[in-house]
C-alpha cells in the first residue's frame, strides 16, 4: 500500500484568511502544506515531462493565434524563448497527483475557506513556464470553463518553485468575484474567446495596470493560493533566464454546486450524461473528497 504524507495542514486556516477569501476572492496561505507533498508532485512531473503527449504547448498555440506577427521574427522568437506548457486531469493517471487532490490537506482547507460541509474534486492542471517564456497568461475567469454553477467553487494554486514577478506570478483583480458576472472563457494565451461560448466579453486587463486593485503574491513550495471561481486573474511572462515556474492547480466545488452545461466549454466524459440543474454527487470523475 502506498504511504503518503499527513492529511493535516501544517497550520490552521485563520479567520482572517477566511475573511480575505470572502472579501478579496483570493487568499495567500503561506507555509500550510508539507513540502513532502510537493516533492511527490515533483517526482511525478519529472516523469511526465518525458512524454510529449502529456502536455499542450501553449506557446505554439499563442503563435498560431497571433497571425499578425512576421513569420521570420516568429521563428526567431520561438528559438530564443521557453515554452508555456499545460496539462489537465493528471489525478486520473498518477497516484501522487490523485493523493494530492484527494487526501492531502487541500480538501480540508477548501472546506474551511468555502464554509462547505462537502467538497468534490472537479479537476487538476499543471502549468509550466520555462525560463525565458514570453507568453503571459491572459486575464480570465475559471468558472466559464467549468460545467458548474454555485458559490462554493474554487481553485487551489500550489507552486512547485519559488515564484515572483520575474518568473510570472499570478495577478488577481481584488473582489472581482462579487459582481457575479460569468465571462466567456478565452484561449488562455489570448483574449479571444473560445468558439461558441456564451457570457460577457472579458475586459482587457493588463498585468501591471496601476489603476486597478491588483493583488500579486510571492510564493514558495508549501504555500497555497486559493481563489474563487469568479475571480479574474492572469499571470506574467517568465523573464528569468534560469528559473522555471511550475505550479499545480486543483479545482473543487462544494455544497451549493450544481451542474450547468456551458456551450463551447470543454467537456469531460461524464458530462455527456449530465443536464443543467443536476446536483453534484459522488462520481468516479468528480469524487467526494471531504464530508
* CATH code of the domain in which 91 resides: 2.60.120.620
Please give the tally of structural domains in the chain: 1
pLDDT tens for 156-210 read 999 999 999 999 999 999 999 999 999 999 999 999 999 999 999 998 899 999 9
In a domain, 146, yes or no: yes
Q: Single out the residue of 168, 164, 176 nearest to residue 223, CA to CA.
A: 164
In a domain, 262, yes or no: yes
In a domain, 179, yes or no: yes
In a domain, 2, yes or no: no
Please give the average per-residue pLDDT across 231-244, as a whole number. Answer: 97
23 contacts 230 by C-beta, under 8 angstroms = no
Q: Which domain covers residue 136, as residue numbers?
A: 15-290
In a domain, 4, yes or no: no
Q: Single out the residue of 140, 138, 137 nearest to residue 85, CA to CA.
A: 137
In a domain, 37, yes or no: yes
Please give the average per-residue pLDDT across 3-27, as a whole number. Answer: 97
Q: How would residue 110 be classed by pLDDT, with cut points 50, 70 and 90?
A: very high
Q: Higher model confidence: residue 80 or residue 31? A: 31
pTM above the 0.85 mark? yes
Among 58-62, 142-146, 215-219, 275-279, the range scoring the smallest mean pLDDT is 58-62
Q: What is the pLDDT of residue 74?
A: 47
Q: What is the pLDDT of residue 80?
A: 55
Q: What is the pLDDT of residue 61?
A: 73
In a domain, 194, yes or no: yes
In a domain, 9, yes or no: no
Give me 115's grid cell: 464554509
Q: What is the pLDDT of residue 73?
A: 46
Please give, one letter per residue, the 3-state secondary structure of the chain: CCCCCCCCCCCCCCHHHHHHHHHHCEEEECCCCCHHHHHHHHHHHHHHCCCHHHCEEHHHHHHHHCCCCCHHHHHHHHHHCCCEEEEECHHHCCHHHHHHHHCCCHHHHHHHHHCCCCEEEEEEEEEEECCCCCCCEEEECHHHHCCEECCCEEEEEEECCCECCCCCCEEEECCHHHHCCCECCECCCCCCECCCCCCECCCCCCCCCCCCCEEECCECECEEEEEECCCCEEECCCCCCCCCEEEEEEEEECCCCEECCCCCCCCCHHHHHCCCCCECCCECCECEEEC
Q: What is the pLDDT of residue 81?
A: 81
Does position 68 have pLDDT exceeding 60, yes or no?
no
Q: Higher model confidence: residue 139 or residue 76? A: 139
Amino acid at each position: 500500500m502506498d504511504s503518503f504524507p499527513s492529511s493535516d495542514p501544517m497550520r490552521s486556516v485563520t479567520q482572517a484568511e477566511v475573511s480575505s477569501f470572502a472579501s478579496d476572492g483570493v487568499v495567500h496561505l503561506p507555509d500550510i502544506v508539507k513540502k513532502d507533498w510537493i516533492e511527490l508532485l515533483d517526482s511525478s512531473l519529472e516523469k511526465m515531462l518525458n512524454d510529449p503527449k502529456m502536455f499542450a504547448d501553449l506557446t505554439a498555440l499563442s503563435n498560431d493565434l497571433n497571425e499578425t506577427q512576421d513569420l521570420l521574427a516568429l521563428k526567431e522568437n520561438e528559438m530564443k524563448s521557453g515554452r508555456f506548457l499545460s496539462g489537465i486531469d493528471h489525478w486520473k493517471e498518477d497516484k501522487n497527483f490523485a493523493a494530492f487532490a484527494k487526501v492531502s490537506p487541500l480538501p480540508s482547507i477548501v472546506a474551511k475557506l468555502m464554509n462547505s460541509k462537502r467538497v468534490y474534486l472537479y479537476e487538476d492542471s499543471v502549468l509550466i513556464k520555462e525560463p525565458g517564456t514570453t507568453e503571459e497568461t491572459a486575464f480570465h475567469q475559471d468558472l466559464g470553463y467549468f460545467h458548474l454553477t454555485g458559490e462554493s467553487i474554487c481553485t487551489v494554486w500550489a507552486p512547485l518553485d519559488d515564484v515572483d514577478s520575474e518568473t510570472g506570478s499570478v495577478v488577481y483583480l481584488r473582489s472581482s468575484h462579487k459582481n457575479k458576472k460569468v465571462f466567456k472563457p478565452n484561449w488562455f494565451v489570448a483574449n479571444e474567446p473560445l468558439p461558441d461560448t456564451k457570457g460577457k466579453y472579458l475586459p482587457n486587463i493588463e498585468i501591471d495596470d496601476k489603476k486597478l486593485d491588483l493583488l500579486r503574491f510571492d510564493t514558495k513550495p508549501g504555500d497555497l493560493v486559493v481563489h474563487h471561481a469568479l475571480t479574474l486573474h492572469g499571470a506574467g511572462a517568465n523573464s528569468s533566464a534560469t528559473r522555471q515556474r511550475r505550479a499545480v492547480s486543483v479545482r473543487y466545488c462544494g455544497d451549493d454546486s450544481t451542474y450547468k452545461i456551458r456551450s463551447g466549454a470543454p467537456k469531460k466524459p461524464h458530462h455527456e450524461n449530465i443536464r443543467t440543474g443536476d446536483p453534484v454527487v459522488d462520481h468516479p470523475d468528480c469524487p467526494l473528497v471531504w464530508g
